C-alpha cells in the first residue's frame, strides 16, 4: 500500500504539493470514489485512479521521449554543462531518470529517458541488435561504394569492427539515412569520416519501434504512449 499523494507525484506529472491540492479539491477518485485525504493508502497495482476524470497510470516506471536539441549532454549530471535531464520538471528529475544510450552533444533527435534500468539494459545489450536510424548531413556525396562498404561491415583504422549497417543516400547524396544495430562511441561519424564523408549534422529518427514524434519540437518531451511502451517491451521479450 502506498500513500495517494506519493503515488500520484511519483508519476512525475505533479509535485507533492500540487497533488495535495488536487486531492483536497476532490478532483482525485480512487476506484470511482472521491478521496479527500492525501495520506490515504491505496494499492497501486489494483486501484483505478483518475484526476479530473482522466485515468492516471501509476506504473512503477516512467518512459519519456525527448527530442534532444543540440548542446545538451546525454548524461544525468555534469558540473559545467547542461544535460538532457535539465529539460525535465523537478518532479520527474527526482525520479532518477537516465538516458537509454547516448547521443553526442551536437546530435539531435530521439532519446529515450527512463528509470527502468532493466529495460534500458536489455535494449542496449549488444546481442539485441535494436535498429537505430539516423539522418546525417555529410561533407561530400554518398555513393554506391559507401553503401557497399557499410553493408559489408567496416573495420575502422583503430581496429573497431562494425556490424553491417544500412546506408541510403537522400536527395543529391549530401544527406543519408544510416541504420545501425549497435551504438559504439561516435559510430556514425567515425564510419562516414572513414569513407571521406565527414558528418556535418546528425539526427536520430528512431530506435527499434520508437519513432521520434514529428510533433515534438527540439527540446520538448512527452511520456511514451501505452502502445509505445508495449512495443518496446515486445522487442524485449518482456511480459
Q: Residues 203-234, buried b or exposed e (16+ Cβ, 10 A)?
A: bbbbbbebebbeeeeebebebbeeebbebbee
- Is 62 or 103 the residue whose CB approaches ligand URA more closely? 103
Q: Does 187 bind ligand URA (CB under 6 A)?
A: yes
Instruction: Give the nearest distance from C-beta 103 to ligand URA in angstroms.
Output: 4
Q: Does 24 bind ligand URA (CB under 6 A)?
A: no
The stretch near ligand URA (CB under 6 A) out of 62-70, 79-87, 99-107, 168-176 is 99-107
Q: Does 229 bind ligand URA (CB under 6 A)?
A: no
- The catalytic residue among 5, 52, 78, 104 is 104
- Is 56 or 110 the residue whose CB approaches ligand URA more closely? 110
Per CB under 6 A, the list member of 202, 210, 224, 232 interacting with ligand URA is 202
Rounded distance, CA 116 to CA 110, Å? Answer: 17
104 is catalytic: yes
**Helix-strand-coil split of the chain, %, nearest 5:** 25, 25, 45
**169: number of Cβ within 10 Å:** 17
CA dihedral 73, 76, 77, 80 (to 10 degrees): 10
Per CB under 6 A, the list member of 8, 97, 103, 112 interacting with ligand URA is 103
Per CB under 6 A, the list member of 189, 195, 197, 203 interacting with ligand URA is 189
Rounded distance, CA 143 to CA 21, Å? Answer: 61
Rounded distance, CA 153 to CA 167, Å? Answer: 11
Per CB under 6 A, the list member of 24, 41, 186, 222 interacting with ligand URA is 186
Q: Which residues are designated catalytic?
A: 104
Binding site for ligand URA (CB under 6 A): 103-104, 107, 186-189, 202
Amino acid at each position: 500500500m502506498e500513500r495517494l499523494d506519493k503515488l500520484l507525484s511519483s508519476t512525475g506529472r505533479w509535485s507533492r504539493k500540487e497533488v495535495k491540492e488536487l486531492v483536497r479539491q476532490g478532483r482525485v477518485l480512487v476506484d470511482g470514489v472521491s478521496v479527500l485525504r492525501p495520506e490515504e493508502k491505496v494499492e497501486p497495482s489494483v486501484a483505478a485512479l483518475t484526476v479530473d476524470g482522466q485515468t492516471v497510470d501509476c506504473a512503477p516506471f516512467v518512459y519519456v521521449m525527448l527530442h534532444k536539441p543540440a548542446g545538451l549532454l546525454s548524461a544525468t549530471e555534469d558540473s559545467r554543462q547542461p544535460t538532457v535531464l535539465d529539460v525535465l520538471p523537478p518532479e520527474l528529475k527526482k525520479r532518477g531518470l537516465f538516458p537509454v544510450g547516448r547521443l553526442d552533444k551536437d546530435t539531435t533527435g530521439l532519446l529515450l529517458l527512463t528509470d527502468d534500468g532493466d529495460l534500458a539494459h536489455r535494449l542496449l545489450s549488444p546481442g539485441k541488435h535494436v535498429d537505430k536510424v539516423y539522418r546525417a548531413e555529410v561533407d561530400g556525396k554518398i555513393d554506391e561504394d559507401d553503401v557497399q562498404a557499410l553493408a559489408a561491415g567496416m573495420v575502422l583504422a583503430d581496429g573497431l569492427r562494425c556490424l553491417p549497417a544500412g546506408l541510403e543516400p537522400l536527395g543529391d547524396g549530401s544527406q543519408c539515412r544510416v541504420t545501425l544495430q549497435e551504438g559504439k562511441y561516435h559510430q556514425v561519424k567515425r564510419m562516414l569520416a572513414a569513407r571521406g564523408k565527414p558528418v556535418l549534422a546528425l539526427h536520430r529518427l528512431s530506435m527499434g519501434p520508437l519513432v521520434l514524434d514529428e510533433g515534438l519540437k527540439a527540446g520538448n518531451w512527452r511520456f511514451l504512449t501505452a502502445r509505445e511502451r508495449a512495443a518496446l517491451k515486445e522487442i524485449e521479450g518482456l511480459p
